[in-house]
A and B are shown apart, each in its own frame.
Chain A
């Protein structure tokens, strides 16, 4: 991902966004991976089409005792030893394209498409929550001196002290049983909102801290002083003057955060404290597949490969986006996969490395 020098990036009349777009367009690798991500989104959006018109079954429908016609010959979906049928490709007119998932005999391809929806929804919505909370907290903490900054910053430090993955599973197990009551709304333990909220909240400090640092620097700039001189109130300065200068950082953070959150979700779901049945995600599919890894390794390999491709696409595109929006950026928000993938906390992942 080559960083283009600003000097040759076009005439002075082009705005910063157009400039960034031009730089991005020149980054073939980043665009290629954006294409891959779009392809994956289309793939999971097509889930109902495939389910209704090709596989003729739903993601949670079981076919344990049924038979399927492959090349004119009837075969059991799950054999008497409990081994599910392998990939049939188009041998059964698209039924069991990737085989069945377990002794329950569910169609792996249909589950892969619907599970991908869940994984993407959890990743994107939790990243939205993190981004909104972190931006507001970062603005407040960076703008107000007095008591607000210490209160926010120290609270973030406490969250920061917990290994991310440990904090997530603690919340996951505590909430999976009884659910949660937020602002008078009851969320049951099996709801998709539980993993979304958990991931959304635990990642906040990792984004709020670097944002606060940027706000600290921005509020000393002349344009803020000019706004003060014009009699602008705090809210207008924060949201009208400082926030527009944060957008490029926020957008990059968001992209990389989606990638990171998908890995976190996979790890939580693998341990049974993320997405709960009957919902499935790529993470829960790896968990199911892993029980049969010696006989049907594809059941493990395929959902993991989907996660790898999606996260890879977002990471590379996010990197390219950062290079395009702010070539001299020193703020790093590397999607610290470790957070989710190893159960390690990766406290440092989203660290400012500015010297």
Chain B
């Protein structure tokens, strides 16, 4: 186990390095224009461009520029040239709202995704299955920010059932916190809900045809026990794998949902910066988002290896 963890961590460090290099390339090398000018944003003055050139060392060699950029991002000293505020501080401020949104949505989509997938598989071919399939496929086929905008209009602006905007701190008022987050949670969950219920349905249908399920039935176990102990347990594995991957990526920014509901999280910061062509925040958010995904996935892998000896011994199929 120790050796597996060490090897996995070494791999993680290499990927983190590669991710940071790619981020550097995306922002400073790939585009075909003066980097200082791009960084200065909409109200670029010659003086500002000159000082950015100085600060970021855009006349240095590329490796030197890379080091400068990483230093700036990780020291917390990077400021955005549009709002003139420290970028990292704004990102840290956005964490509670973004995490509240993502965790709540994840609870909803896991619960209903598994419930719908289960019902769909057990009643395969029936009207309930058809209905749930239609709902699920529609869910994965719509631009969810569009659904969010429409729900916001009819359920908040027009009827006032839900509050229209903003985020209330959990510590300030838990009820208001949840009330303000209900619509964002639901819209963010819709798509994953559809996707997860589809995956669970097809996995369950496969598992239900396995010999050990037939054996379980043959020895007279109750249907509940067969389903619970034998079918569900094995069908949930791909769901959990997906969840590990999706959740890490989700926190990288539920950008559109935050922007529509004005949640003041990291995603909304990204959206505002995009609207202003303000590059430094996007750089930091991209890098931190990718770092989070890599680290989260490594943790998931290690947890898996702990649970399943085949993985850490390297005997599982590629």
CB B170 to nearest CB in A, in angstroms, measures 22
Contacts of B194 in A (CB 8 A): 337
Pair B290/A177 contact, Cβ less than 8 Å: no
Q: How far is the CB of B268 from chain A (nearest CB, A)?
A: 11
Kindly state the interface size class of chain B when it binds its partner. Answer: 35 or more
Contacts A157-B15, A263-B143, A347-B248 given: A332-B199 contact, CB under 8 Å? yes
- Is the C-beta of A161 less than 8 angstroms from some C-beta in chain B? yes
Among A181, A272, A273, A337, contact of B142 (Cβ-Cβ < 8 Å)? A337
Q: Mark A317-355, 1 if CB is under 8 A from B, else 0.
A: 000000000000000101111101111111111010101
Chain A residue nearest in CB terms to B12: A161
Contact pattern, A 298-332, Cβ under 8 Å of B = 1, otherwise 0: 00110010011001100110000000000000001
Q: Are A337 and B259 in contact (CB under 8 A)?
A: no
| A167 close to B (CB within 8 Å) | yes
Most buried by A among B152, B192, B258: B192
A77 vs B146: C-alpha distance in the bound complex, in angstroms? 26
Determine how close the nearest CB of chain B comes to the CB of A156; give it in whole angstroms.
11
In Å, the complex CA distance between A186 and B206 comes to: 51
A301, closest chain B residue (CB): B150
| B142 close to A311 (CB less than 8 A) | yes
**Is residue B289 within 8 Å, beta carbon to beta carbon, of the partner chain?**
yes
Are B246 and A348 closer than 8 Å at their CB atoms? yes
Q: How far is the CA of A105 from the CA of B157 in the complex (A)?
A: 25
Query: Which DSSP category, helix, strand, loop or mixed, fits chain A's interface?
Result: helix
Name the contact of B149 in the complex, choosing from A173, A263, A271, A290 (C-beta under 8 A): A290
Is B241 among interface residues, defined by CB-CB distance under 8 A?
yes
Asked if B195 contacts A169 (CB within 8 A), the reply is no
Chain A residues whose C-beta falls within 8 Å of the C-beta of B32 in the assembled complex: 178-181, 186
Give the complex CA separation of A177 and B283 in angstroms: 15
Identify which of residues 142-164 in chain B touch chain A, using a CB-to-CB cut-off of 8 Å.
142-147, 149-150, 152-154, 157-158
CA–CA, A346 and B188, complex, Å: 12
| B140:A336 contact, CB within 8 angstroms | yes
A205 CB to closest chain B CB (Å) equals: 12
* Residue in A271, A312, A334 whose CB lies within 8 Å of B195: A334
Neighbour of A158 across the interface among B15, B158, B203, B282, CB < 8 A: B15
Most A CB contacts (10 A, CB to CB) among B241, B252, B279 go to B252
Contact of B141 among A181, A297, A300, A337 (CB under 8 A): A337
Whether a CB of chain B sits under 8 angstroms from the CB of A127 is no
B249 touches A344 (CB 8 A): yes
Q: Are A178 and B248 in contact (CB under 8 A)?
A: no
User: Are A344 and B252 CB-contacts (below 8 A) given A304-B143, A334-B198?
Assistant: yes
Q: With the chains together, A342 CA to B252 CA distance in Å?
A: 11
User: A307 — which chain B residues lie within 8 A by C-beta?
Assistant: 142-143, 146
Query: Does A283 make an interface contact (CB < 8 A)?
Result: yes
Is A195 in the interface zone, CB < 8 Å from B?
Answer: no
Please measure, in the bound complex, the distance between the C-alpha atom of A341 and the C-alpha atom of B27, giving whole angstroms: 24
Shortest beta-carbon distance from B279 to chain A in Å: 7
B259 touches A271 (CB 8 A): yes
A289: min CB distance to chain B, Å = 9
Asked if B277 and A173 sit within 8 Å, CB to CB, the answer is yes
- Determine whether B293 belongs to the interface, using a CB cutoff of 8 Å to chain A: yes
Chain B, Cβ-Cβ closest to A294: B157
Residues of chain B from 175 to 210 with CB closer than 8 A to chain A in the complex: 187-188, 191-192, 194-195, 198-199, 202-203, 206
Q: Can you list 23 A-B contacts (CB < 8 A)?
A: A161-B294, A161-B297, A167-B290, A169-B255, A170-B23, A170-B283, A172-B274, A175-B31, A272-B274, A290-B149, A294-B153, A294-B157, A300-B149, A301-B150, A304-B142, A334-B140, A337-B195, A341-B144, A341-B256, A343-B258, A344-B253, A348-B242, A351-B242
Closest 9 CB pairs of A and B: A178-B33, A345-B249, A163-B252, A343-B255, A304-B146, A341-B144, A348-B245, A312-B141, A311-B141
Binding site for A on B (CB under 8 A): 15, 18-19, 22-23, 26-27, 30-34, 37-38, 137-147, 149-150, 152-154, 157-158, 187-188, 191-192, 194-195, 198-199, 202-203, 206, 238, 241-242, 245-246, 248-250, 252-259, 267, 270-271, 274-275, 277, 279, 282-283, 285-286, 289-290, 293-294, 297, 318
